[in-house]
Structure 1
């Protein structure tokens, strides 16, 4: 058999120079783009007001995969991030690189590790992703038939005494719900059985309702010493302090509630009274039964109206300065219907004798005038002791640490 050899002429000098020029131009454009991106990030971060001695940086950018919402840690201390809008969960390595570990989920939000498995709260229930290698397998039903629509995103948390808590937001702004599980916090056992505050016997099914009258409590945390449960709560929109009065942008205030079994927290009839902290006032345009506001539980602390508090975490396990370690950080996602927007910040909730006594700004600057360039969602202390924050507007995960 005869083998044919074809000789290829080497590129001429002009071709080689052109190739070198094009390659150099591409590298220059790429370098310029990377530099421009870095400068843009640094310019954005420079607008934030950060406490002396601390630094905030962009740890990761997951915007190409979705908008980051809730945060959790895996057994190796790697950060897990839910991307509700694209149905994904990603895991970040130590350099902030993202790996998709689950997709095709129904608006995943809260996440909890249960043994080696991962529980994920979807719009209509909770699914379990069984451990599989260095990740998790296909989702399996765990808790079913939770109501969706309205405030549909569900946050899932594991309590120190071994129960699962799920928020179910209201279906509306202000209304009397037909479904008793709306505007509640629900409690379940670790095998997914309802374990509400009211023990039922006989043929009646056990309820999962732990607390009621919570329009939308998107996150909870337990005080590290007392074990008491605290929950952020988003109040109603477009309210007035007078019957058929004009809308008051400062009503109602948002709440930080101390959650106790079986308590009702006021919605849709009442909210925390700014003039009398520790008491509830009647919504004059949504009146319930007589003395309903006197019987409901008042908030532990009032937060800025319509600032949309979501994530909350205590700092006792952080490496941040000692004067912060008895306090908590709350992420304010920001308002949508105020003439002067509020929120778009991190708030420090100061605790004394294990109770919240005041809130003060921690990091501000995502809101510039009436325009916001970032919206904090969740906060968590990482395995390295630093504070991590998700932002579903920029698609970034921030890291806050000491200088």
Structure 2
């Protein structure tokens, strides 16, 4: 990893201080919300609607240099909150799930293992930690089954399928070998497979991202009547069973498609108030810096969200012009639109009581950050306000401060979960850290 230049520290300090002063309490709407990291600060709210979608333009690329985390550096959070380091030096920490007893399970995808961290209530540093399982295959999603206080299994989604381990309360290492539940999931290109059980435990949801940016070379359906025998908007060939949320019985049988056209649904969660399944989606590349928007949405059974033929409603992708006019009026519009190329990866709903009351029922989403946009965006955690069980459609910066300069970042948020004591846990795989965000009250 390259040594971080000293000048970058000063640039970051002044840039962040300027952003905080200029953006405190700002509400950015439409095109004014299409800026970059300089406008980010806790409390900045963005409102993006379907009518704000720009026409396609030339694509950009601006890969970020990964910098070392400066000594003592921590994310910036709203007034009254504090961010404390839980763990460092992890190998690609991605999804975080909290067991009913409070243990923190984290998928170290780069090392092909799942680690367990045990924190004392109100503390950030682990009292104990252990490798729960290793020898996995790009593990990502983690779920406990059956849902409730006494799960008997830990399910892990590898890039090519799902396995499960026998589990009893307090286990920090697996007591036996993995049992394969689902196999043969296509794994090329988008490999992140999140995993969630329905509230009643009867259905296992598995997100499978697309095998390409926009189904290049897909061609025509295999036959004239192909669409009539498959899910609305389903793809074929190398994209079969991809860009979908799949559903299974808990034993891995009875595979079916819940929804289609979700290019890369990298994070899923159940909304506690309704039991509805939500996912956050990385949309396609190559249509410009601000098109199309990434998004979060409740996944409706049988819905089609556009990929690869359409995006954000009936906006036809010019690379598939005229290919599927039959689908144009059947594209579901997502619930919350994000700035393009933010790369949302994780979502979690807040049900605790440790944060101020207006946070209850809201969602938190991690933005991994842009690589294909001329002006860098993302690299933060945002809050999605909900009112009466529905999203307002806006989103608000909650955790920022991981960008060093226009060319370098030290943190790339991925996993997010609520700890047993009501704090928020966030993983980032740039420097391999996990953070605990707690509320201490206004000063």
Question: Normalised by the size of structure 1, how large is the TM-score?
Answer: 0.79
CA distance in 2, matches of 1:41, 1:270: 45
Residue in 2 that maps onto 1:227: 275
Residue in 1 that maps onto 2:106: 81
Residue in 2 that maps onto 1:193: 253
CA distance in 2, matches of 1:317, 1:255: 25
Q: Which of 292, 301, 309 is equivalent to 2:344? A: 309
Deviations 1:45-84 (A, max 9, x none): 1xx3311111111111242xx1100111234211001011
Do the aligned residues in 2 keep the contact of 1:82 with 1:88 (CA within 8 Å)? yes
How far has the Cα of 1:41 moved from its partner? Answer: 4.2
How far has the Cα of 1:261 moved from its partner? Answer: 0.6
Q: Which runs of structure 2 are paired with 1:355-394 in the superposition (5 Å)?
A: 355-357=390-392, 358-370=394-406, 371-394=408-431
Do the aligned residues in 1 keep the contact of 2:98 with 2:418 (CA within 8 Å)? no
Residue in 2 that maps onto 1:284: 318
RMSD: 1.7
After TM superposition, the structure 1 stretch with the greater mean CA deviation from structure 2, 299-308 or 124-133, is 124-133
Q: Which of 212, 215, 226 is equivalent to 2:260? A: 212
CA distance in 2, matches of 1:264, 1:354: 23
Residue in 2 that maps onto 1:333: 368
CA distance in 1, matches of 2:374, 2:405: 11
How many residue pairs are counted as aligned between the two chains?
334
**Higher gyration radius (CA):** 1
Q: Which of 141, 145, 155 is equivalent to 2:180? A: 141
How far has the Cα of 1:112 moved from its partner? Answer: 1.1
Residue in 2 that maps onto 1:295: 330
Residue in 2 that maps onto 1:52: 79
Question: Normalised by the size of structure 2, how large is the TM-score?
Answer: 0.72
SS at match of 1:218: strand
Do the aligned residues in 2 keep the contact of 1:387 with 1:399 (CA within 8 Å)? yes
CA distance in 1, matches of 2:186, 2:251: 20
Residue 402, structure 1, aligned to residue 427, structure 2: no
SS at match of 1:80: strand
SS at match of 2:78: coil
Residue in 2 that maps onto 1:344: 379
CA distance in 2, matches of 1:251, 1:228: 28
SS at match of 1:297: coil
How far has the Cα of 1:318 moved from its partner? Answer: 4.7
CA distance in 2, matches of 1:263, 1:131: 35
Do the aligned residues in 2 keep the contact of 1:253 with 1:306 (CA within 8 Å)? yes
CA distance in 2, matches of 1:399, 1:294: 44
Q: Which runs of structure 2 are paired with 1:167-178 in the superposition (5 Å)?
A: 167-175=207-215, 176=218, 177-178=236-237
4+ long deviations beyond 4 Å = none
Gaps of 5+ in 1: 1-38, 195-206, 240-247, 273-278
How far has the Cα of 1:233 moved from its partner? Answer: 0.5
CA distance in 2, matches of 1:352, 1:282: 32
Q: Whose RCO is larger (CA < 8 A, sep 6+)?
A: 2
Deviations 1:143-163 (A, max 9, x none): 111111111221111221322
Residue in 1 that maps onto 2:222: none
